[in-house]
């Protein structure tokens, strides 16, 4: 299988929010988000994917939690 791009991995992070039923303004713990990502993706891709999702305005990394923005919710 060919490795996913950072943008594709950022979308994979968004899919975790969708799968968990998270709405705009709500958050997942950083630990739960990380675990959800590494269940199906390479752990070394997580930080870059989270950063890209933040750059796109989809998520806000608040340290112990990661919050879904309205823009991120529209991408779900």
In a domain, 1, yes or no: no
In a domain, 41, yes or no: yes
Span 7-26, pLDDT tens digits: 999 999 999 999 999 999 99
CATH code for position 51: 1.10.10.10
- Number of domains within the chain: 1
Enclosing domain of residue 59: 6-75
Token representation of residue 6: 């950072």
Give the global pTM. Answer: 0.92
Span 24-75, pLDDT tens digits: 999 999 999 999 999 999 999 999 999 999 999 999 999 999 999 999 999 9
In a domain, 30, yes or no: yes
Which ranges of the chain would DSSP assign to H, the alpha helix?
6-19, 30-38, 46-55, 70-75
Token representation of residue 7: 């943008």
The angle, 0 to 180 degrees and rounded to 10, between the axes of the packed helices 6-19 and 46-55 is 80
């Amino acid at each position: 299988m060919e490795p996913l791009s950072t943008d594709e991995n950022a979308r994979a992070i968004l899919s975790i929010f969708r799968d968990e039923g998270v709405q705009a303004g709500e958050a997942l713990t950083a630990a739960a988000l990380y675990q959800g990502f590494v269940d199906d993706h390479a752990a070394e891709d997580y930080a870059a994917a989270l950063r890209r999702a933040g750059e796109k305005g989809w998520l806000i990394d608040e340290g112990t939690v990661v919050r879904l923005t309205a823009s991120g919710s529209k991408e779900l």
